[in-house]
Amino acid sequence: MTALAKATRVALLERMLLMRRFEEEVINAAAAHKYIGRNHLYIGHEGVGGPVMLLLGERDITHSTHRNHGHMIGRGVDPGKALAEIMGREGGLCGGKGGTWHMTDPGKGFGSTSAMVGGSIGMAVGGGFARKHQGKGGVSVALFGDGVLDEGISYEALNYCSKFSLPVLFVCENNSQEGAHITSMLAAKRLTDVPASLDIETHVVDGADAEAVHAVAAAALAKIRVEGKPVFIEARLARWPGSHQMRPEFTTGVTDIAQAWDDARVAGDHAAWIRDHDPVRLHARKLLAENAITREEALAIDARVKQQMAAARAFADASPFPPASAALDNVFA
């Protein structure tokens, strides 16, 4: 495994922190009743989406799920427009009509997101098919939860990509852990048994270890780009304790970057999750321990991220709701 360049390790921290602070902004917006409806937050998954998104290029296309915010922010979608979309505002990515579950940004490689369990894995086949037949390169990336593998569409999608050699990276974010909230009903012993039985190369990685995910995903993408065949990565995670609520709450507290060097600040009912599973804290801690950054640099990164979030909030708050006269715009039936 080649060591990551220092600049990439630091960029990864900033990207993951941006993804985290975006979700914190969403929690604040919900608490202030700026929108109605529910959200599935990406907190705790940043160690997967952060490195995968950092590795993608212009020709690549991404297909996401109900837990899509982190994927989008990780890939460079404007946080202000994303927040405005969640809040149903005119300045949002889809003019406020898509909301959290249908956010798209084709310019950033998001053709669509689907809140249907199994939606993204099916759309990724089309993305791979198009890339193969256009002959201009690029990889189609499917991001999905462990729950997707017990949907029938997964079998067809995996089978088609394998049989017809499509350039697709399957990234399964497995947050079903022994003794916790389980979203998988699969009878197979391991999730990777399903793609492996269809002759797809599989990898299992610790999803809380951003650098390990970066290494596996970089190798997989390089291989797909050369061989044009799919690869399947299962990233195992401990579900964030806040992800059950209809209205997300700060169950683990607002992220405190100083927890990376000060264990005394890791406290509360969910201290164990923060200590052992928070990918943002773990990555920051590693960079500090290996002298890749100083505490001052970590604080400066956080200050930059907070500034970006303040600008995003101001943009979304200032954006009006779409006028009633626009209700039928973009309706095709």
Q: How far is the CB of 277 from ligand TPP (least distance, A)?
A: 15
Q: List for the chain the helix, strand, coil content (%; round to 5).
A: 50, 10, 40
Q: Taking a C-beta distance cutoff of 8 angstroms, is the pair 322, 95 a contact?
A: yes
Instruction: Note whether 175 and 183 are within 8 A (CB).
Output: yes
β-partners of residue 202 are 232
Question: In whole angstroms, what separates CA 112 from the centre of its chain?
Answer: 14
CA distance 294 to 147: 40
* Helix H or strand E encompassing 232: strand 231-236
Q: d(Cα 179, Cα 322) in Å, to the nearest integer?
A: 45
The tokens of 27 are what? 């929690």
Q: How far is CA 318 from the centre of its chain?
A: 27
* 3-state SS class at 17: helix
Interacting span for ligand TPP (CB under 6 A) from 9-17, 82-90, 114-122, 276-284 = 114-122
Nearest residue relative to Mg ion (C-beta): 183
Which residues 278-307 are close enough to bind Mg ion by CB under 5 A? none
Q: Residue 218 in contact with residue 251, Cβ under 8 Å?
A: no
Residue 257's contacts (CB-CB under 8 Å, 6 or more residues apart) are 17, 284, 298, 299, 301, 302
Closest approach of Cβ 175 to ligand TPP, in Å? 5
Q: Which two tokens stand for residue 6?
A: 């220092």
Closest approach of Cβ 47 to ligand TPP, in Å?
14
Q: Tell me how many residues contact ligand TPP (CB under 6 A).
A: 13
Among 175, 243, 259, 319, binds Mg ion (CB under 5 A): 175
Task: Write the CA distances from 117 to 53, 59, 146, 184, 288, integer angstroms.
Answer: 21, 25, 10, 11, 38
Site string for ligand TPP, 3-32 (x = CB under 6 A): ------------------------------
Cα–Cα distance for residue pair 63/113, rounded to 1 Å: 6
- Find the shortest distance in angstroms from Cβ 243 to ligand TPP: 7
User: Pick from ligand TPP, Mg ion, none: which does 66 bind, CB < 5 to 8 A by kind?
Assistant: ligand TPP
Q: Which helix (H) or strand (E) holds 54?
A: helix 46-54
Helical (H) or strand (E) element with 63: strand 61-64
Binding site partner of 117, from ligand TPP, Mg ion, none, Cβ cut-off 5-8 A by kind? ligand TPP
**Any contact of residue 183 with ligand TPP (CB under 6 A)?**
yes
Interface with Mg ion (CB under 5 A), residue from 24, 146, 206, 209? 146
- Asked if residue 148 binds ligand TPP (CB under 6 A), the reply is yes
**Nearest residue to ligand TPP, using CB?**
145
Q: Is 145 near Mg ion (CB under 5 A)?
A: yes
| Residue 116 binds ligand TPP, judged by CB under 6 A | yes
The site partner of 67 among ligand TPP, Mg ion, none (C-beta below 5 to 8 Å per kind) is ligand TPP
In the sheet with 140-145, reading across from the earlier edge strand, the strands are: 110-113, 61-64, 140-145, 168-174, 231-236, 201-206
Single out the segment in contact with ligand TPP by CB under 6 A; choices: 115-123, 254-262, 285-293, 294-302. Answer: 115-123
Residues 54-113, interacting with ligand TPP (CB under 6 A): 66-67
Closer by beta carbon to Mg ion, 74 or else 145 = 145
| Interaction between residue 43 and ligand TPP (CB under 6 A) | no
Q: Is 146 a binder of ligand TPP (CB under 6 A)?
A: yes
Here's the x/- map for Mg ion, 177-216, by CB under 5 A: it reads as: ------x---------------------------------
Residue 145 makes contact with ligand TPP by CB under 6 A: yes
List of residues contacting Mg ion (CB under 5 A): 145-147, 175, 183
List of residues contacting ligand TPP (CB under 6 A): 40, 66-67, 115-118, 145-148, 175, 183
